[in-house]
Amino acid sequence: MQALERLRSRMAELSDLAAIGMLSGWDQLVMMPAAGAPARAQQLGTLARLTHERATSAEIGAWLEEIDAAGDAAALAALDRDVVRLARRDWERARRVPDELAVERARAEADGQESWQLARANDDFASFVPALERNVELARAYGECLAEPGESRYEGLLGDFDFGLRTQELQSVFGALARELPPLAEEARVRSPRRTLEVPVAAQEAAVSGTLRRLGVEETSWRVDVSAHPFTAWVGRGDMRLTTRYSDGEVEALLSSLHEYGHALYERQVDPALDRTNLGSGTSMSMHESQSKLWENHVARSRAFAEVLSSELGVGGFAVSAADLHATLVGVEPSLIRVSADPLTYPLHIVVRFELELALIDGDLAVADLPGAWREQMQRLLGVEVPSDALGVLQDVHWGAGAFGYFPSYALGCLIAAQLWEAMEAEIGPREQDLRRGELEPVQRWLGERVHRFGRRLDTTALVVQATGRELEIEPFLRYVAPLAGR
């Protein structure tokens, strides 16, 4: 069918453009000299314009109409039906956004990331205010374009990261977490207190390298680099790029490297038949974060895998027992920094960000008032005082990059990860012995079969049900963290 062939060709182009954009973003945060920021903003703006024009072209609508008019949609193979279904959904959403708004957002996001890096380095929120105000303004306009009748503009933004997610659902789930977790955290602070290990950077680097090598990370199709904020870029099936960061006397890199590995493995194990289609990537950010949190929480933080990590640290010249390392990785104490938060209080950091960004988008909170609101929320939910904006509102890049509606996925990811882990162990048995030996292939295979291979063919809820037999629940996560409080 000619219309289907043309539609598939366009989807392949858009996939390539998305990969180029991801590569450019990776370069901006990892390799690009600081003076290249203005030019990069223009380049990304041009790329966004070309992508938006190709994604919203009337040709796509004509091809979809031709497929429908011919009555061929029902006769298509299952994969092609999904290509057509998602193409229609993406096209209709993209058509609502004016070209100039798409271009301006890309420029503002590039400028915002650069402004954020400087503001964070200098602990100078005031210098970041103009860029953030512009991103909030553009996010409101963008959300209004995408919102369905009866939806808020925030829900329009959520659709880019987790299609079908509703603000009321988030408020219900996060409200339950805000009720359940603080009492557990108080008990866990006594039973499983936070510890520190003075691990030299050289030992961290050796441990990260050795651990990732056990998981199949090799130089022919992976990169591991350092960035101000750990992230992952998937440029192609044979081009996965992880980043982490090292701080002297910390163990964060052991967790962040496996966290980012989870993202990359998801993309790497999508069915090859979906390559260069609109189906060939992770279905949502909450599902993506479930994969990173599964490797961070249920592997890296497990008592059994601590034996592997302590061995790798020993190779790097730092001797520590598996028991002491495990206690350090799971110790509970409410803290300032999200990415180094303990597994129990981590979702509360997301509740803070969700409530604040919802208020920003709804117009109930001015950008200039954000630092004060941040301090109030951190005190209310985590009981910590914020001494500086660099350790508070400036710690994350997301708002500087215009990613409003992204943060909820981090907490949802914690919940989904726990539910997936329980389902996996119910099916293939406890993983403790394999984790102790550093044998992760059964976990990789189960995730590939139950989650990864589907790409975008299933949305989040349907994928959770397919993998676990149940819709999303908070109880598996509560069961995961309860032992930290002695329950």
Catalytic residues: 260
CA angle 327, 330, 334 (to 5 degrees): 120
Pairing of strands 232-236, 239-244: antiparallel
Label residue 76 exposed, middle or buried (CB < 10 Å: 0-12, 13-18, 19+): middle
Cα–Cα distance for residue pair 143/160, rounded to 1 Å = 10
| E strand or H helix that includes residue 222 | strand 222-226
Q: Do the Cβ atoms of 133 and 360 come closer than 8 Å?
A: no
CA distances 208 to 19, 99, 227, 317, Å, are 26, 43, 15, 13
Amino acid at 237: R
How many other C-beta atoms are found inside a 10 Å radius of the C-beta of residue 436? 16
Q: What is the DSSP string of 329-394?
A: HH-B---S-GGG--TTTHHHHHHHHHHHHHHHHHTSS-GGGHHHHHHHHHHHHH------STTTTT
CA distances 435 to 321, 386, 439, Å, are 16, 37, 6
Please provide residue 242's backbone torsions phi and psi, each rounded to the nearest 5 degrees.
-100, 150
E strand map for 43-99: none
DSSP 75: G
Q: Do the Cβ atoms of 362 and 152 come closer than 8 Å?
A: yes
Cα–Cα distance for residue pair 184/191, rounded to 1 Å = 10
CA distances 233 to 26, 71, 191, 228, 340, Å, are 6, 39, 38, 14, 21
Nearest to 339 by CA among 415, 286, 396, 298: 396
| E strand or H helix that includes residue 416 | helix 408-428
| Number of residues in the chain | 487
3-class DSSP state for residue 483?
helix
Label residue 279 exposed, middle or buried (CB < 10 Å: 0-12, 13-18, 19+): buried
Label residue 11 exposed, middle or buried (CB < 10 Å: 0-12, 13-18, 19+): buried
Helix 408-428, helix 167-191: angle, nearest 10: 70
Cα–Cα distance for residue pair 253/141, rounded to 1 Å = 37
